[in-house]
């Protein structure tokens, strides 16, 4: 810790006996902030172990597929089924925050916008699942997909081909 902030805290301690409160120094160095989070999982692991499985369930739970019996609806048909996809959407919401953590975020610019976009798409999906609104749920899935591809386009362009196959 820089000497200055140590002094400031000491000063706060002294003055604090007289005044009602004293706020901590405003700026913490980024290494101090990072120490509060465990970011052992790298972005690739977070993608393949946390975000992708949850997103896959969302995509597999919306729309229709053509099979031997004709068009089959993929949407959940029970309250439990909707609760389950809502929980997957909650993972997507939080994955947005996980990506934005110091130590994972690749910059303080577009990366943060895509991470926030991920959370927002997850919220849309959660709300749609809560309302059991198929149309809104399908829209949320599309929104989610466009956030994945936009971020990959910027930060890891070769991933897009692989993810497209997954989403099909």
How far CA 157 is from CA of 71, 80, 103, 163, in Å, comes to 34, 37, 21, 11
Min dist. Cβ of residue 58 to ligand HEC (A) = 8
Q: Given the complex with ligand HEC, which of 106 and 127 has the nearer CB atom? A: 106
Question: Closest approach of Cβ 144 to ligand HEC, in Å?
Answer: 5
| Shortest distance (Å) from residue 31 CB to ligand HEC | 22
User: 62 is written with which tokens?
Assistant: 């919306």
Where on the chain is the footprint of ligand HEC (CB under 6 A)?
Answer: 43-44, 47-48, 51-52, 55, 99, 111, 114-115, 118, 144, 147-148, 151-152, 155-156, 159, 163
Q: Return the number of the residue (85 or 151) whose C-beta is nearest ligand HEC.
A: 151
Count of other CB atoms within 10 angstroms of residue 98: 20
Burial of 121 (0-12, 13-18, 19+ CB in 10 A): buried
Nearer CB in complex with ligand HEC: 34/106: 106
CA 100, distance to chain mean position in Å, is: 8
Cα gap 168→164, rounded to integer Å: 6
* CA 138/CA 22 separation, integer angstroms: 50
In the complex, the smallest distance separating the C-beta of residue 61 from ligand HEC, rounded to whole angstroms, is 14
By beta-carbon proximity to ligand HEC, the closer residue of 61 and 115 is 115
């Amino acid at each position: 810790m820089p000497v200055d902030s140590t002094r400031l805290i000491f000063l706060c301690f002294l003055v604090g006996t007289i005044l009602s409160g004293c706020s901590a120094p405003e700026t913490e160095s980024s290494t101090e902030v990072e120490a509060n989070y465990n970011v052992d999982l790298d972005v690739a692991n977070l993608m393949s172990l946390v975000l992708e499985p949850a997103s896959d369930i969302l995509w597999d739970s919306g729309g229709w597929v053509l099979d031997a019996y004709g068009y089959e609806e993929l949407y959940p048909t029970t309250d439990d089924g909707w609760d389950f996809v809502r929980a997957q959407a909650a993972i997507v919401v939080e994955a947005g925050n996980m990506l934005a953590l110091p130590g994972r975020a690749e910059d303080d610019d577009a990366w943060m916008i895509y991470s926030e976009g991920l959370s927002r798409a997850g919220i849309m999906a959660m709300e749609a699942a809560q309302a059991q609104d198929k149309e809104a749920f399908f829209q949320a899935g599309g929104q989610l997909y466009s956030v994945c591809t936009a971020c990959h386009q910027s930060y890891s362009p070769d991933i897009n081909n692989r993810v497209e196959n997954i989403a099909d």
